[in-house]
Amino acid sequence: MTMRKNKKLWIGLISSPIFLALIFYNADLHRMKEALMTVNYIYLPLAVMLSLVTNIFRSYRWKYALKPIRNIRALGLFPGIAIGYMVNNLLPARLGEFVRAYIVGKRENTSKSLILGTIVVERVFDGITLLCFLVTLSLFFSFPPWIKRVGIVASIFFMSAAVCLVFLTDQKTKVGQLIKKGIGLFSSLIAEKVGRLMDPFLSGLAVIKNKRNILLVFFFTAVVWLVEAMTYYIVGLSFSINLPIYVYLFVVITVNLGIMIPSAPGYVGTFEFFCMSVLALFSIEKNIALSFAIVLHAILFIPITILGMIYFYKEDLSFSKINIQEPIPVRLRNPSQ
């Protein structure tokens, strides 16, 4: 594990207890128990189903992010997504992204770092889509200052990332050569290794130049977050929290921007804190909001983690086998195929 990942791990291990202390400060465990006892559990299987459907739509999005490189069935990508989320839920530093790059790269005999490039595109589109929803909602509602600050910081980050991706795609050869030359001033061996990873990684950004596929990536990204908002809404119904669907979309946006903060595996603490903070804006009592957040987090966490474990076992994987540095030649598909 690199120094950067170690730093992120320690920040996460420190930040999660802080957020847990904030959410349980003055919490009434008796009131929480009452809230959990009065939940209408008949809604929860539907919420579980929707949480899994969200990941099926993620598979379709990934299919179109990958299409300029390799045409893969969407459902064939679902095991990689399930395993990736399982790893993110159980291990630190969001290692699941590297694991699913390895799985699909190995199965399709394609460079793992190239696959990782498509995952970076996905993450940038996640952020941009959430911000588009946030801007749309801001036209109708007045947000408190702290949410505006989160939105501004996230906007700067994701718009900068988008500009970088476009630049890297347009100037792929020059950027790759410049990076290798710069590193080569200090170590030719490291420069060679970086080059083997950099070239296919930049090729993984190819979808940015394909208008049809990038629109489909954007479409399925929007569908992913709208279906996830429906999952939140259904769990809210089980708690008799009668808020409109757009409020739950606002919760989705805030929670997913909030969990960008390094935390323990599974976003423990940060997820509940931001979920409660938004519900408090709509006068939802703290103990009910916390109970809602815990049940919702379990629904988003447990089923996909179990599925990921099953697929991990079926793929006969072990973490000692995973290595994204395998230098497999890159061949882009003909766009007409």
- pLDDT tens, 152-176? 888 899 999 999 888 888 877 777 7
75, 85, 100, 300, 317 from 79: Cα distances, Å: 8, 10, 9, 16, 12
**218 pLDDT higher than 50:** yes
**5 pLDDT higher than 90:** no
Count Cβ atoms below 10 Å from residue 247 Cβ, excluding itself: 22
Instruction: With beta carbons less than 8 A apart as the criterion, state whether 82 and 311 touch.
Output: yes
pLDDT tens track for 107-125: 888 888 899 999 999 999 9
**251 pLDDT higher than 60:** yes
Residue 52 in tokens: 């899994």
With CA atoms as reference, report the closest residue to 102 among 93, 94, 113: 113
Cα–Cα dist 35/191, whole Å: 58
* Residue 10: pLDDT band with limits 50, 70, 90: low
The mean per-residue pLDDT over the stretch 235-257 comes to 94
Cα–Cα dist 151/321, whole Å: 39
Instruction: With beta carbons less than 8 A apart as the criterion, state whether 153 and 254 touch.
Output: no
**262 pLDDT higher than 90:** no
DSSP 185-254: TT-HHHHHHHHHHHHHHHHTTGGGG-HHHHHHHHHHHHHHHHHHHHHHHHHHHHTT----HHHHHHHHHH
With CA atoms as reference, report the closest residue to 248 among 197, 289, 199, 202: 289
Instruction: With beta carbons less than 8 A apart as the criterion, state whether 95 and 258 touch.
Output: no
Instruction: With beta carbons less than 8 A apart as the criterion, state whether 89 and 265 touch.
Output: yes
List strand residue ranges (DSSP E) for the chain, in order. Answer: none
The mean per-residue pLDDT over the stretch 27-52 comes to 91
Put residue 334 in one of left, alpha, beta given phi > 0 → left and psi -120 to 50 → alpha.
Answer: beta
Burial class (CB in 10 A: 0-12, 13-18, 19+), 269: buried
Put residue 205 in one of left, alpha, beta given phi > 0 → left and psi -120 to 50 → alpha.
Answer: alpha
Task: Express as a percent the part of the chain with pLDDT over 70.
Answer: 86
Amino acid at 194: V
* Residue 3: pLDDT band with limits 50, 70, 90: very low
